[in-house]
Every structure is written in structure tokens, then in C-alpha cells.
Structure 1
Amino acid sequence: MQSSSELFPVALISAEIRGDLSEDVYRLKPGNSPDASVELALTRLGRADHETQRGVPVILIPGSFSNRRFWYSPKGIGLGAFLARAGYDVWIAEMRGHGLSPRNRNYKHNKVSDYVRYDLPAIADFVFEQNPQKAHWLGHSLGGITLAGALGGGYLEQQRIASVSLCGAQISRVYWPLKFPPLEWGSRLLLKRFSLISGPKFKRGPEDEPIGLALESLRWHGLFGRFGDAERDWWAGLAEVKVPVMAVAAVGDTQDPAWACRKLFEQFGSTVSEFLCLGKKNGFSGDFGHVEMLVSKEAQREVWPLIEQWLRKSPLVAAQVESTASISPEPASG
């Protein structure tokens, strides 16, 4: 694998001009996890006529059963393309076995904790090497949960992060049957018979998901479950995360309801934050759904500009807060 990085082997597998956008696809082989066969695809989008001028990095993480096309369609439409045209240096990650990332040797056993501990830090290091500015991170659904886990577990360096945006992401929805141990054990035994869950078969999306993710979710939602891995409590760790955070929820989202998204949002220790709930009662054209919050003509018109506005203002507000906090009060005269 030809290297274009001092960190680990990286191959530039494609470099194309797509209309007004440039599209570079890298394949990373970090070698930082127990499964040495892991390779991760990372697509960079930029303006074709501004290749020497790189804006602030934005790293996008798709949700479950999804890939880079959630952010950037073959016709050049999507939030990723929108942000690239606005001048951002856009990077779209694809998790193990999704999209252009090949399935690793232990694909069946892939878990969010692998993404959290190994894959996101490798992606963060490579993007910083290519563009050493603070990056914005944005994740949808499972992508947002993964991002929250990496932050709560302390696997991402906060000093390199400009802001975090979680869209349709939550961990607090209760599945009461799983609180009954025999049902949880039975579900676990049943799932272990399979290697994956088919997204196309169950009409969840274009990608499959390894069964390891489902087993991990059972553990999170079990009677004594917690959002974390064997070493760290990610949920508790979020209270120590101080980077600017925005959460986007939708009134019509039945998969990840707005109240649960708010609960995850409120667990962050950030002083600069914004919660956006997409629904008629809040002045939007309709009650957006789980996917429609980011992929729809209404989202293109009503939501994308608000996200871009947040990306522009959040670091400035955070800097002002930090500057104010660093000023010691003058001693009172006696």
C-alpha cells in the first residue's frame, strides 16, 4: 500500500473532479487495533477551483446501514457537498465493512467500541496531519453515538475539536423486555447464530451491519447495562467534554425520539451548546423524520443552512467564553 502519510500506510485510491467539486478517496490502514486487517475509506470533498486553499475541516460520520452517500450523492447533492461548496474541507468516513471500506477479517465481531477506541482516533490523526486545524465533527444516528462514545471515553483530543454535532443520536430510549435477563439472554443466543443484519433485506439501508453491534446494544440496554466499554463509562465521561456541542432532533423521529436526543445532549459538560428540534411547533415546514432531518429537499432548504451557521459561530463563541473565563477578577479594594 503506497503511503501518503507519516502515521501509517495510506493509499490514494481515487482522485476525481465531480463537476464543481474535487473528490479524493483515501484508504487508511492504521494497524492500531487487534484486527490488523482493518482498512478505512475516507473521502475528501473540496471545491475544484480552490485545491490550494483548504478551509476548516468537517468530518462526517454516517449512521447504521449507511455509507458516504448519505452525505454526498453521485449527483453531488448532500450536506457534505453543501459544506464543501461553502468552503469547508469535508471528510466523510466509512466504518469497517461499509461503502469503500473493505470487510475486515473479524467483521462479524465489529463493535462500536472498536470504532470508538481505534478507528475515530486514526481518522482524527490523519485529517489533522493533512489539515492541522481544529475540526468540526458531525454524526448521524449511530455515527453520532460513536462520536459521543469517543468523546466520553477520552479517545479524541478535545483541543483538536472545533465543535461536535449529533443528529438523531440517543442512547436513553428504554427497551423494557431487555431489562428482563432471560429475554436478554435468549436474544443474545439467537443473534449469535448470525454474522450480520442485512440492511437491504430489512429495508433499513444499503449496507449490512455486523452482529457484534447488535450484541453490544443488548449489553447497553440490559438490566445493568451502561453506555461504555469494559474500561470506561462513556456516559459519565461526557460530563467532562467541554467542546461546543449541537444536537439536532426531529419531532417525527420515532427511532430516536427528540426527548432521548436531548438527554444525550444535556449530558455534555459544554458551556457552548445548541439544541435544534425540527418540527412545525418550532417554525419548520413539517415534523421531520429520522432520515429526512438531513436528506430531503426540506432539509436542504431549512436545516443545512442552520448547521453551517452553527459551524461558523460555535468556535468564535467558545473562544469568547474561554477568554472571559481566563480573566481573573480584580481584588476588592479595602
Structure 2
Amino acid sequence: MSAQLGVKSSSGLFPAVLKEAELKGDYVEDVYLLKPGNSMDRAAEFAVTRLSAPGKRKVGLPPLVMLHGLYRNRQQWIAGGQGLAMALINEGYDVWLPELREHGSSPLRSQVHATEPQDIVECDLPAAAMFIREQTGAPAIWIGVDVGSLAALFTLQSGILSSQMISGLVSLGGPCDKEAISLGKRIASVGLRARMLQERAGDEPERRDWINYWRKRFGLLSYWRGRPVESLKLFLSQPRQVMHIFAPEHFAAKLSRWRNLNSVTIHLLADERNDYASAREWLGRAGCVDQLMPGLRLSIEQLSSQSER
């Protein structure tokens, strides 16, 4: 059962409309459309969904914010009722699912600005954090995969998100997972290949051209991916652990650059398979959610208790 509402929320921060409220079996999905007006494109809007399971919500648990990967949307966490977000709301957590600009329920726009990646980090994520903090009354723990983890990491590192807004970060797979940002496949999936073909009068672009086009459009993301240790300057100055990484055990080599950072805890999970190309492929495997939940629950408790000290 779905309702198209268009009702303004109680937010006193910026325009925030409850766009849709839907009862799906035993859980409720409320989709808010936020228009913070704090970026170069002041008309830009993006969606934030709140998931709840009536009767299962537990008082005292921290809110959880889950950031999807590149060119995905909130369905990555729902997965037809079998995803990680569903397991978490059934445990009593308050779960929020932002969707990056142009993703999922976030509106498409006629123009895309070159500053989009930077705007996501410096404008959209802080706005989402403020809205969720206002609605819940507590700092959230953020959970992300590939670019979602990366964006949250840089927003935290820059100091834009304070401990009043975020009490810790969980990355599923490394925040710098190369395979999760494969060039041609991801670009083609959003129609950029068609645009390049049009610009080049129908000539098929070579791989070098793909890379140059990618860097032009998502240059900041490429910069982040290449300098993960530099991005943790703020973490290194903090005594508490602020990031937990979960990954299958054969990702150990990929995560080696994070191993000696005092502010990072790595959890490698045993798995019969050893051929996952990316964290998103691992997350899509049957049984992955059940494998994740015990350690994830403990990490959330630890990050939450640290933020209360």
C-alpha cells in the first residue's frame, strides 16, 4: 500500500517533503525529498528513506545511515526483503537510506555540474546527517560500500561531520575498492557511453578516452581512491577507533594499507569462495547478511559506546 503525500516534514532546517509512505509487508518505507539549497545548484534535491518495522524498534539503539555504492540505490540494502537493512530493522534499529544525486528516488536534472562529487561530500551528506540528527535526536553510525564508504570517510575526515552528527563508520569492503568503480561498465550503465559516442560522431571511445572522461566527471573520487592513508589524517589524531571494515578474508591484501592505522579495525570473515571481484558482489551473495550480522552488531555497540564517553 503506497501513498503519494507531498507533505512537508517537521524539519526546521530546510525544505523536506515526505514524498511517499508505503507499507510493504511488515515494514514501513517513508521517502523524504530534501532540498537543502547549500550547493552550486541550489535547486538540487536528493532522497532519504527511513525504514521501520512496527513493534520491533528498540529504544537506546543508535540510528544507522546506510550509503549505497556507485550507480546503485537504496534497493542495494533492501534486496527484495533479504538485504542488510532488513536484518537491521528486524533487530530493532532505526535505519536511514540516503540516495545520492541522480540515484534511485532522487530526481533527475537537465544539467549536471562538474562539482557534483564535491557537492555530495560537502553539501548533501552533511545535510542528510543534520536532517537525520534532527529527526532522531542522536548521532548516527554510518554504514557504506565502495563510493558510499569513501564519501562518508571524506566528509568525516574534512571535519564537516562532527561527533554530534556521526559516531562512527562501518565500511563493507575497503573504501578504495578499485573493482567497485570499474570504468567502462559503470559509465555505460548511466548512459555516458552514449553521450561520448554522440560527442565523437559515433566513434567508439578507446580505454584511454574512458579514463580521461571518467577523471573529468569524477576526478575527485579518483583522487580519493588513490590516497586513502592521506585521507585519514584526522583519524590518526583521535585515540578512539572510528572506522570498522568488514570483508571476506581473501580481501586481506587489498586492505593492507589500512592495517596499521590505530583508528581502523578490520574484520576478515571466512568464506568458501575466494573469487569476489568487489564488495558489492560479496554483499549480493546468499548468506552474506547472516555472516555479517554478529560482528556488525558488536561493532555498532562499540562505536555507540565510544561516542557516549
TM-score normalised by structure 1 residue count: 0.71
**Contact persistence 2:76–2:83 (CA under 8 A):** yes
Residue in 1 that maps onto 2:105: 100
User: In the aligned structure 2, how far is the partner of 1:165 from the partner of 1:251?
Assistant: 17
The residue identity in structure 2 corresponding to 1:215 is G
**Contact persistence 2:141–2:303 (CA under 8 A):** no
**Contact persistence 2:68–2:148 (CA under 8 A):** yes
* Fraction of identical pairs, as percent: 28
Which structure's CA Rg is the greater one?
1
Change (3 A) 1:288 1:161: farther
How many aligned residue pairs are there? 274
Residue in 2 that maps onto 1:306: 295
When the two chains are superposed, the root-mean-square deviation of aligned CA atoms in Å is 3.2
User: In the aligned structure 2, how far is the partner of 1:266 from the partner of 1:114?
Assistant: 31
Pair 1:215-2:213 in alignment: no
The residue identity in structure 2 corresponding to 1:63 is G
Could you tell me which runs of 5 or more consecutive residues in structure 1 were left unpaired when the two chains were aligned.
Answer: 174-186, 203-209, 323-334
Residue in 2 that maps onto 1:87: 92
The residue identity in structure 2 corresponding to 1:94 is E
User: In the aligned structure 2, how far is the partner of 1:156 from the partner of 1:35?
Assistant: 21
**Contact persistence 2:146–2:177 (CA under 8 A):** no
Change (3 A) 1:265 1:294: farther
Q: Tell me how far 1:219 sits from its aligned partner.
A: 4.6
The residue identity in structure 2 corresponding to 1:6 is G
Residue in 1 that maps onto 2:188: 198
Q: Tell me how far 1:160 sits from its aligned partner.
A: 3.3
User: In the aligned structure 2, how far is the partner of 1:143 from the partner of 1:265?
Assistant: 20
Structure 2 counterparts to residues 223-262 of structure 1, below 5 A? 234-241=231-238, 242=240, 244-252=242-250, 257-262=251-256
Moved more, 152-161 or 304-313: 304-313
User: In the aligned structure 1, how far is the partner of 2:54 from the partner of 2:259?
Assistant: 36
User: In the aligned structure 1, how far is the partner of 2:190 from the partner of 2:111?
Assistant: 22
Q: Tell me how far 1:60 sits from its aligned partner.
A: 0.2
Q: Tell me how far 1:72 sits from its aligned partner.
A: 0.6
